[in-house]
Amino acid sequence: MLYISMTIFLEVTHLKTLIIMLYNKVNFSIYLYLTDNYNVNLSITFYIFFYVYQFT
């Protein structure tokens, strides 16, 4: 489910702009905050995903 939504997200935001990058950073920090106490693996995966996404 998470993987599918990430794939859709990638397709929708194919053209990377400054606004999208800022939006990702905000989303990412909120996501980390929410998952911090529940699923560390998920947040690590999310971090790797966005790290790779930024440099591709």
| Residue-number span of the structural domain to which 33 is assigned | 16-54
Please tell me the pTM assigned to this model. 0.26
State which amino acid sits at residue 37.
N
Torsional class of 14: left (φ above 0), alpha (ψ -120 to 50), beta (otherwise):
alpha
- What's the confidence (pLDDT) of residue 49? 74
Q: Tens-of-pLDDT digits for all 56 residues of the chain?
A: 566 666 666 665 554 555 666 677 777 666 666 655 555 556 666 667 777 776 65
Please indicate, yes or no, if residue 8 is contained in any of the structural domains: no
- What's the confidence (pLDDT) of residue 52? 73
Please indicate, yes or no, if residue 2 is contained in any of the structural domains: no
What is the number of domains present in the chain? 1
